[in-house]
Chain A
């Protein structure tokens, strides 16, 4: 299947990850709580079919993944939305742990980037326009910049705090 995605092994691995992320987003957005499992089911089914369909396949294989995912969606009835559990407010130990993790993970970015993200996250919508103006960039450019900074620190935060923040 990797070969079908891209003859280059590294590119194929990259594409595989990208397909999986897209599938998870799609299932999650359609209300499936077990989005990851359904994404993996989709990939499994496609990989079984690859020897038959890859020969003579024209176009991006992603279309095939999408079609299989649609079938899986039809097979699995969308569950009723699960009630949102009331989150327990973090206790002081947990807050300290969060702060330590954030202190540590924000070290991964420069001082300027730290200031940008903290000011952005702390500010309201209007403050962000002021912040963008101060930095001499558009509000959308600031939004993208913050997203990139978050992309850098998020794996570290995830690892430090674990999924159960």
Chain B
């Protein structure tokens, strides 16, 4: 099995032009010519690479090597174009399938629609889809009442109505108005300080609002499934520190709407919080992987919307946890150019100051060590 893995990786390197020594290249080519299994595996690896390219799953270096060293022939380029067509087609078909399943589910759950049998024949002349004006004054009054009611409904729906999703998010905001649940910034929450406690300190959260938020956001996801409700319920789970439930939902939302900067930022935030939890559990590798993925989403969010303060705040934090103080300090400075007044800005200033103090201490220690060694 491990031999397979080595072979697959070698073939990948071969196709991406990452094998530099002639002896390595010749060894691969010798096997390609003499071993049918290796040749067949090469075809599979080619397919994998094309899929990865089409789905933008490559690192920058891999993408560059793929374009420079793999897309050498017109045939290979045509392979990529066919893969792009198939990916687009599959995306559309799967979306149609999902929608039809959702429709079917909602149809099964809906009560039967009422049939408006009480309307008199005079109002709906045979063969006409347009309702004829009633001649009878009593019917005119009835229609006027109906129109007024319909207009009132439109006004109410437009100005006062709140969906479960909106009410759920408001309840979530209200839950954490005194104390925020996580260090990162979530787009749904306003500023609140972090709890300044160690161990089991008093939590200043509104538990009634919390229960309400959970109920409403679950309902929203059931009754009106989609990226917005996945995102909202995902945020709820982040506030509960249930990252294994939060991250798949936030990922789903991002996959459905990859150009939503807020979705990208919130997924980045969730991954930072998970990375911190992993680190506390001693899992440094996963923690670093989470931070790397977080950084990708935060960069994407900022590419989509450079003014998104949540994403900028989170990226500064992410750089800090990745032990990249210089980049973190740059981000905090950038943040302060965009927001210098809010409570978030005060926090950013404190963090920047702390970083600058640390950096100056390190440089003093370095100087001392150098003068000692000199």
Contact for A66 among B30, B55, B76, CB less than 8 A: B30
The answer to whether A121 and B33 touch (CB under 8 A), given A29-B15, A143-B44, is no
A22 CA to B75 CA in the complex, in Å? 14
Question: Which residues of B lie under 8 Å from residue A95 when comparing CB positions?
Answer: 88
A132 CA to B73 CA in the complex, in Å? 33
**B29-68 Cβ-contact flags toward A at 8 Å (1 or 0):** 1101110100100111001100100010100000000011
**When the two chains form their complex, are residues A165 and B78 in contact, meaning their CB atoms are under 8 A apart?**
yes
Q: On chain A, which size bracket covers the interface?
A: 35 or more
Check A134 for interface membership: any CB of B closer than 8 A: no
Complex: chain A residue closest to B47, CB-CB: A147
A144 CA to B169 CA in the complex, in Å? 45
**When the two chains form their complex, are residues A33 and B39 in contact, meaning their CB atoms are under 8 A apart?**
no
Complex: chain A residue closest to B89, CB-CB: A102
The answer to whether A99 and B73 touch (CB under 8 A), given A26-B32, A29-B14, A147-B47, is no
Question: Which residues of B lie under 8 Å from residue A158 when comparing CB positions?
Answer: 78, 82
**A18-33 Cβ-contact flags toward B at 8 Å (1 or 0):** 1001101110111111
Check B163 for interface membership: any CB of A closer than 8 A: no
Contact for B72 among A32, A87, A157, CB less than 8 A: A32
**When the two chains form their complex, are residues B87 and A122 in contact, meaning their CB atoms are under 8 A apart?**
yes
**When the two chains form their complex, are residues A121 and B87 in contact, meaning their CB atoms are under 8 A apart?**
yes
Check B157 for interface membership: any CB of A closer than 8 A: no
Question: Which residues of A lie under 8 Å from residue B110 when comparing CB positions?
Answer: none
Check B108 for interface membership: any CB of A closer than 8 A: no
Question: Which residues of A lie under 8 Å from residue B14 when comparing CB positions?
Answer: 29
**A56-94 Cβ-contact flags toward B at 8 Å (1 or 0):** 000010110110000000000000011010010010000
**When the two chains form their complex, are residues A124 and B55 in contact, meaning their CB atoms are under 8 A apart?**
yes
Check B149 for interface membership: any CB of A closer than 8 A: no
**When the two chains form their complex, are residues A164 and B86 in contact, meaning their CB atoms are under 8 A apart?**
no
The answer to whether A31 and B32 touch (CB under 8 A), given A98-B85, A102-B86, A124-B255, is no
Check B307 for interface membership: any CB of A closer than 8 A: no
**When the two chains form their complex, are residues B44 and A33 in contact, meaning their CB atoms are under 8 A apart?**
no
**When the two chains form their complex, are residues A98 and B89 in contact, meaning their CB atoms are under 8 A apart?**
yes
CB distance from B307 to the nearest CB of A (A): 28
Chain B facing A: main interface SS: helix
Check A43 for interface membership: any CB of B closer than 8 A: no
Check A53 for interface membership: any CB of B closer than 8 A: no
Contact for B75 among A36, A102, A157, CB less than 8 A: A36
Check B151 for interface membership: any CB of A closer than 8 A: no
**When the two chains form their complex, are residues A62 and B78 in contact, meaning their CB atoms are under 8 A apart?**
no
Question: Which residues of B lie under 8 Å from residue A29 when comparing CB positions?
Answer: 14-15, 17, 69-70, 72
The answer to whether A118 and B69 touch (CB under 8 A), given A66-B29, A102-B85, A143-B48, is no
Complex: chain A residue closest to B8, CB-CB: A140
State the B residues within 8 Å of A (CB): 4, 14-15, 17, 25, 29-30, 32-34, 36, 39, 42-44, 47-48, 51, 55, 57, 67-78, 81-82, 84-94, 255
Given A22-B39, A29-B17, A157-B82, list of 15 further CB < 8 A pairs? A29-B70, A31-B69, A32-B72, A33-B72, A33-B74, A63-B33, A82-B72, A95-B88, A102-B86, A102-B89, A118-B89, A118-B90, A118-B93, A150-B47, A165-B82
Across chains A and B, which 9 residue pairs bring their CB atoms closest together, nearest first?
A165-B81, A121-B90, A122-B90, A118-B90, A122-B94, A98-B85, A102-B89, A81-B68, A28-B73
CB-defined A-B contacts under 8 Å, sample of 29: A25-B39, A26-B29, A26-B32, A29-B14, A29-B15, A29-B72, A30-B25, A31-B17, A34-B73, A35-B73, A36-B73, A62-B33, A62-B34, A63-B34, A66-B33, A81-B72, A98-B85, A98-B88, A99-B92, A118-B93, A121-B90, A122-B90, A124-B57, A143-B47, A147-B47, A154-B82, A157-B85, A165-B78, A165-B85
